[in-house]
Chains A and B, each alone.
Chain A
Amino acid sequence: DGGITQSPKYLFRKEGQNVTLSCEQNLNHDAMYWYRQDPGQGLRLIYYSQIVNDFQKGDIAEGYSVSREKKESFPLTVTSAQKNPTAFYLCASQYWREGGELFFGEGSRLTVL
């Protein structure tokens, strides 16, 4: 079955550590996105990529980094520079056409201890 997979689902990190969240899709979608969601709030865009080897900053990119070496994969690294990293992280992919719906993964919940 085609879909988008995020891992791990839950992650605990000590302050000062970097952590990488995985996002893989087998939908052959061109575009991929990372959003952050805090309790009671909407989705805020961290980074997005419309094509392999290219990505753009979203609204809250500071303290995060990404890569897009393969069409299927768009990992997100939460660095120690991110001041408040505890959140629910959502990855999405989209076939790049006007109106194309976003397909979301199940999310990764990161807790910094």
Chain B
Amino acid sequence: SQKIEQNSEALNIQEGKTATLTCNYTNYSPAYLQWYRQDPGRGPVFLLLIRENEKEKRKERLKVTFDTTLKQSLFHITASQPADSATYLCFPAGSARQLTFGSGTQLTVLP
């Protein structure tokens, strides 16, 4: 069955550092991978999309990589700020049956 793993439930980093979140998937081949941000008690909000034929995507302080050989995506937040504290969810998808989210990584940026 499809399985998605995100690194450690919680990640604490110091303000100004780069946060790196990992998403690993097994038993399927997504055509694309999305990352979402979720704040407590709110619905997730879309951040970035990367397709299987793209190695890297950037948006402001965010960078996503997608390695289809390793079946892994890395999500980086550079120059992190306390306002970046949230749970980040990965979503490898590509067909009507690939609709599973990762369990999320709770990021806390310490001032």
Contacts and interface: CB of A to CB of B under 8 A. Distances in A.
The answer to whether A and B belong to the same complex is yes
Interface of A: 33, 35, 40-43, 45, 48, 50, 56, 58-59, 88, 90, 92, 98-99, 101-107, 109
B43 A90 contact: yes
Contacts, number: 54
Given A99-B49, A102-B46, A42 B103 contact: yes
Contact of B44 (A40, A41, A99, A104): A104
B43 A45 contact: no
B48 to A, nearest CB: 9
Contact of B96 (A42, A56, A107): A56
Interface of B: 4, 9, 31-32, 34, 36, 41-46, 49, 51, 89, 91, 94, 96, 99-104
A107 B100 contact: no
A105 B94 CA distance: 22
A43 B89 contact: yes
Output the residue of B9, B34, B43, B91 with the most chain A CB within 10 A.
B43
Nearest to B31: A98
Nearest to B41: A107
Contact of B104 (A42, A48, A103): A42
